[in-house]
Structure 1
Amino acid sequence: MKIYNFYIIRNVFVGFAAAAALLIPLFTTFDLINELDDVTAGGYRWSQAVEVVLMTLPRRLIDLGPFIALLGGIVGLGQMAVSQELTAMRAAGVSIVQIAMTAMVAGLILTGALGALDEWVASPLQQHGAQLRSEAIAHSDEAVNTRGTLWARRGDEIARIDTLGKHSQPLGIEIFHFNPDNTLASYIYADSAKLAPSGGWTLKQVNLKQWKDGEETVTMLPTMNWEPIFSNTHLKDLTLPSDSFSIKQLNRYISFLKSTDQPADKYSIALWQKVGRPALTLAMILLAVPFTFVQQRAPGLGSRLAVGAVVGLLTYVGNQIVVNLGLLFELNSQMTTLMPPLVILCVALALVYRFDKRG
């Protein structure tokens, strides 16, 4: 690799650092303000809110990755354009395509680092923060089912867990058994359940209702054994937000949802968004190249950054619209999540080649 390649990569990474230094504190402040809305005297404390926000910092960095790539590329390459260094490189025979491909190397390093951060750092920290937040809010008098309701289905059996207590103990279990004609055969309500190492559950304080030949029988039992639908999945994972899942957890949860006849589109999209994010990040870096050469005579970077911010925002909004439309109309998850980044990448490549021919 030639010296000018290292120089471009170094300047682009300086731009990444500048963009991150601008965006991370701004969005972290918004996150903290949002968390402080849930602070209560007897439950979720402000110190815990700060801790949760700090735990979500890596996730925020990953979510802002495409913005950082675009604005960082504009800053890094734009500064070289202002100082006439790109003009000198062009005079030395370096094409715009070569400059763009060198910037792409910086983008590949960035996407690799963000991918590793996502899988092994951001996901565990965010999940720990979510559990800390839920447990703290659960101690508040205003808490209402903060861990979320869980549903599962197995054949003619449907189960619901109202919430999870300490150590992921199921609380408020309802089990519905249906006849082949979809009439209700039995209904079970249990206050709680004890999970056995073998995978079975012991339901406690059971209220069993059965219907046969038009007659209803009610039985109260102190305990009752049940082979759970949730036996192959960690319950605490099921209550976490989908964006906090690692790729391994998403694959496991999608398999669980499909095995229990539940819709898995939301989590399939979350999985493929992780796959498509590197393409979107690389596309944003390539988009920084036209910004650099279209306004080479501009005295500063302010106008480029302003336009870049607008483009980044429109790209984000457009991508979210496509993803939500795909979820609404149950479109193919891969097409819904991968098509927008690939289209933007193709547009960016076309713009780079166009500017190279004009130059």
Structure 2
Amino acid sequence: MKILQRYFASQIIKSVLFVLVAFLALFAFFDLIAEINSVGRGAYRLRHAFIYILLNLPGYIYELMPVAVLIGTIYVLARFAANSEFTIMRASSMSTLQAGWILIKIGLIFLIFIFMVGELITPYTSAKATAFRDSMLLRDMTPGKFRSGIWSRDSIYANGLEGEVIGLRFINIGGLRTDRTIRDIHLYEFDLHQQMQRMITASNGRYLGSHQWELSDVTEEIITAPGKKGETRFPASAPEFKTKKADAMTLLSELTPDLLTVLSVDATLMSAYDLSVYNRHLEANSQDATAYKIAFWKKIIYPFSVFVMMGLALPFAYLHFRSGGISVKIFTGIMIGVLFMLLNSLFSHLGLLNTWPAFLTAILPSIIFLLFACGALWWVERH
């Protein structure tokens, strides 16, 4: 059995790598075509486009690996069946359960690889790719979908970042630069009764560490309540404004450059740790974190989809065609892989729209395909 394990592993790993490289070349070509329109803008040149595409490749590896595992495994098993190798293995007392156990142990290698790429490599390279491209195009990292910049909500505590919550702060940032400084800052602070207490505007902000920001060119407007409570006659009931100007001031906030960077990077390319940190930030400030919860659970569950893909590939070893067998099986595998990716994306949107539990939304596509794999395996065993 150890000999069969090594034989299966060597053949499947080589086939999966070949399929993965082919996919990466195809997607890199599509990206290059898309980037041609940006070449020549600012300092962005063709060599920069190649660097940007190269930095994005780990993200494609993470997304395409389960499909590559499916196609590569189908190719190997179909070739075993076409050469009657799988028949000989079965005649030598290898059961379906043993074949599945062999594939599971090979799948562990791919699972660890996907997890490392998704947690350690992709978040770093994706952020670098976005920052590099924006710096060459001479623009901020602010996501284009936010015309008014980045909005965030922050809590104000009695003792810095600890103690009782005494108010809320809404933060609007015009742009996040590639050096992680911010510009065009507007702060609106409210008490717990939704009464505005202070407005602050600043031209620039620099992160000092330990949740401290240094704001420059600051204008602070302090709003005080009317002098006579219950008075409805204007202007006695009007609040009083006091304006202060300063060259710089220090702001203590839960917001950090890492949290701001979340908004400029696709959630699917973030690490599970970053997603969990941002989820806690949103929940602490009573904001909707459904989309990021779904992304977090998908990040946890997605590497395990290689087992589902290998389960889907195993029945193909039992199917025999007289002609065109391998090509038909590979085409079927490609269609199943595309369907899995589409269904995975579809369930994310359905879960978000229908407020399904995040864990259920993330795991449902894998469960559906796993049941299909078990059904297909039962059918080929019976026939």
TM-score normalised by L of structure 2: 0.83
Aligned match of 1:159: 171
Query: Secondary structure at 2:184's aligned position in 1?
Result: strand
Contact 2:142 2:175 in 1 (8 A): yes
> Within 5 Å, which residues of 2 pair with 1:10-89?
10-89=10-89
Contact 1:229 1:260 in 2 (8 A): no
Matched, 1:228 2:253: yes
Contact 2:207 2:256 in 1 (8 A): no
Contact 1:207 1:218 in 2 (8 A): no
Q: Which shows bigger deviation, 277-286 or 291-300?
A: 291-300
Q: Do the aligned partners of residues 193 and 130 (structure 1) sit closer, same or farther apart at CA in structure 2, a change above 3 Å counting?
A: same
- Residue-by-residue CA offset, 1:135-186 (whole Å, 9 max, x unaligned): 222x16xx79458624123243211222123531121111112355545444
Aligned match of 1:204: 216
- Residue-by-residue CA offset, 1:280-316 (whole Å, 9 max, x unaligned): 2211111112233234434442111112211211121
- Residue-by-residue CA offset, 1:195-235 (whole Å, 9 max, x unaligned): 34454333322333455442563625123443224159564
Q: Do the aligned partners of residues 289 and 298 (structure 1) sit closer, same or farther apart at CA in structure 2, a change above 3 Å counting?
A: farther
CA distance in 1, matches of 2:100, 2:173: 53
Q: Do the aligned partners of residues 298 and 21 (structure 1) sit closer, same or farther apart at CA in structure 2, a change above 3 Å counting?
A: farther
Query: Secondary structure at 2:220's aligned position in 1?
Result: strand
Letter in 2 for 1:227: L
CA distance in 2, matches of 1:229, 1:7: 53
Cα deviation, residue 251, structure 1: 2.0
Aligned match of 2:233: none
Query: Secondary structure at 1:163's aligned position in 2?
Result: strand
Gaps of 5+ in 1: none
Aligned match of 1:278: 303
CA distance in 1, matches of 2:296, 2:215: 34
Alignment size in residue pairs: 355
- Residue-by-residue CA offset, 1:81-106 (whole Å, 9 max, x unaligned): 11111122223232333323322222
Matched, 1:172 2:196: no
Contact 1:111 1:278 in 2 (8 A): yes
Gaps of 5+ in 2: 156-166, 227-237
Query: Secondary structure at 1:56's aligned position in 2?
Result: helix
Q: Do the aligned partners of residues 190 and 144 (structure 1) sit closer, same or farther apart at CA in structure 2, a change above 3 Å counting?
A: same
Query: Secondary structure at 2:255's aligned position in 1?
Result: coil
Letter in 1 for 2:125: L
Matched, 1:219 2:220: no
TM-score normalised by L of structure 1: 0.88
> Within 5 Å, which residues of 2 pair with 1:103-118?
103-118=103-118
Q: Do the aligned partners of residues 311 and 133 (structure 1) sit closer, same or farther apart at CA in structure 2, a change above 3 Å counting?
A: same
Q: Do the aligned partners of residues 73 and 263 (structure 1) sit closer, same or farther apart at CA in structure 2, a change above 3 Å counting?
A: same
Q: Do the aligned partners of residues 18 and 166 (structure 1) sit closer, same or farther apart at CA in structure 2, a change above 3 Å counting?
A: closer
Letter in 2 for 1:348: A
Letter in 1 for 2:72: G
Query: Secondary structure at 1:105's aligned position in 2?
Result: helix
Aligned match of 1:190: 202
CA distance in 1, matches of 2:321, 2:40: 53
Q: Which shows bigger deviation, 90-99 or 270-279?
A: 90-99
Contact 1:159 1:229 in 2 (8 A): no
CA distance in 1, matches of 2:258, 2:217: 24
Query: Secondary structure at 2:243's aligned position in 1?
Result: strand
Q: Which shows bigger deviation, 60-69 or 251-260?
A: 251-260
Aligned match of 2:331: 306
Query: Secondary structure at 2:200's aligned position in 1?
Result: strand
CA distance in 2, matches of 1:330, 1:356: 40
Q: Do the aligned partners of residues 227 and 121 (structure 1) sit closer, same or farther apart at CA in structure 2, a change above 3 Å counting?
A: closer
Contact 2:188 2:196 in 1 (8 A): yes
CA distance in 1, matches of 2:377, 2:254: 53
Aligned match of 1:263: 288
Contact 2:152 2:171 in 1 (8 A): yes
Aligned match of 2:4: 4
| Percent identity over paired residues | 24
CA distance in 1, matches of 2:256, 2:56: 30
CA distance in 1, matches of 2:365, 2:84: 34
Q: Do the aligned partners of residues 197 and 324 (structure 1) sit closer, same or farther apart at CA in structure 2, a change above 3 Å counting?
A: closer
Q: Which has the larger radius of gyration?
A: 2
Query: Secondary structure at 1:301's aligned position in 2?
Result: helix
CA distance in 2, matches of 1:89, 1:199: 62
Letter in 2 for 1:77: L
Matched, 1:345 2:370: yes
CA distance in 2, matches of 1:329, 1:136: 40
CA distance in 1, matches of 2:55, 2:257: 28
Q: Which shows bigger deviation, 195-204 or 75-84?
A: 195-204
Contact 1:194 1:201 in 2 (8 A): yes
CA distance in 1, matches of 2:18, 2:95: 26
- Residue-by-residue CA offset, 1:225-254 (whole Å, 9 max, x unaligned): 432241595644554332232222222222
